[in-house]
Amino acid sequence: MPELPEVETTVRDLRRLIIERVIADPGVSFADWPRIIATYSPEVLGQLIAGEKILALRRRAKYILIELSQHKHLVFHRKMTGNLFWREPGAIADRYTHLVIPFRDGSELRFTDLRKFGRVYLFLNEEELSQYLAKLGPEPLEDDFTEELFHQLIASRRGMLKPLLLNQGLLVGLGNIYVNEALFVSGLHPKRSAETLKPEERTLLYHAIRQVLTTAIENRGTTLSDYLDGEGQKGRNQELLFIHNREGKPCRNCGTLIIKIMVGQRGTYLCPNCQPKLSLAN
């Protein structure tokens, strides 16, 4: 579930909440599903992070990067239903908690995940970290993600737009919700082959992607059912979605009823009027 805006919101929250806190010894106080920890056993992870101070938090793609000393990094990916939040000392238990990292002050970092797809990694140095992240494409909201770069990335791709934009090797951060939204905003059909786009259509898509992500961050992310921010609170972008999860409802632009189809095995919402199958001028 969490896509770029949700991960960004969580990172900003946790930055305020856990930087400077020191991890207790041992560094793992609860772990009931060892597979959640991808790189070590719960015991070894607990030893490796014990006594470490939280120095910085960053987001890369949909990963939350927590920097410790000597460039050690705790890295979380929440996949579909994972959440990461900070709790005060003595806070009541959260459902679906599978990993707890205690701080010396008694507060906790809790990783919850209904479906158990989420993962946590510990990388011991910059080298290990960057090697793991090397597979990822550029960040769509960074300054170096120029319109020119986007044109280059997709101009000669023959795949359908929808699965292409979900590919984190091409560009990162988009998931099912925001791809659906961005294609609607740019008036493009999800099954259009990227190579059939005219330059002006690629430009529309470029700006739609950035607009949709930026707006969602301003609204603290989209909570359809499971997503919670760094304090365990819901986002509010779900009220502003144009088409995602709005099958049978009127398009906010033209009133045509929104339909749902499957594209690349993912539920795909679109307005048949605003997103015609072929380009308008052919």
Residue 176 interacting with DNA (CB under 7 A): yes
- Quote the CA–CA distance of 46 and 63 in Å, as a whole number: 21
Q: Which among 180, 193, 198, 192 has a CA at the least distance from the CA of 251?
A: 180
Segment 201 to 220, residues that bind DNA, using CB under 7 A: none
Q: Which among 73, 69, 77 has a CA at the least distance from the CA of 10?
A: 77
Instruction: Give yes or no for a contact between 240 and 221, defined as CB atoms under 8 angstroms apart.
Output: no
Please say which residue, 77 or 210, places its beta carbon nearer to DNA.
77
SS3 category, 273: coil
Instruction: Verify whether residue 3 is a known catalytic residue.
Output: yes
Residue 158 interacting with DNA (CB under 7 A): yes
For residue 132, how far is the Cα from the chain centroid? 17
Instruction: Verify whether residue 266 is a known catalytic residue.
Output: yes
Q: Let me know the angle formed at the C-alpha of 203 by 194 and 167, rounded to the nearest 5 degrees.
A: 45
Minimum separation from the CB atom of position 184 to DNA (A): 14
Please say which residue, 265 or 282, places its beta carbon nearer to DNA.
265
Question: Which secondary structure element, helix H or strand E, spans residue 154, and what is its range?
Answer: helix 147-154
Residue 1 interacting with DNA (CB under 7 A): yes
Minimum separation from the CB atom of position 64 to DNA (A): 12
Minimum separation from the CB atom of position 106 to DNA (A): 28
Q: Indicate which residues carry an active-site annotation.
A: 2-3, 62, 266
Q: In the complex, which residues of this chain contact DNA (CB under 7 A)?
A: 1-3, 6, 35, 61-62, 77, 79-81, 114-117, 135, 157-160, 163-164, 166, 168, 175-177, 193-194, 222-227, 244-245, 262, 264-267
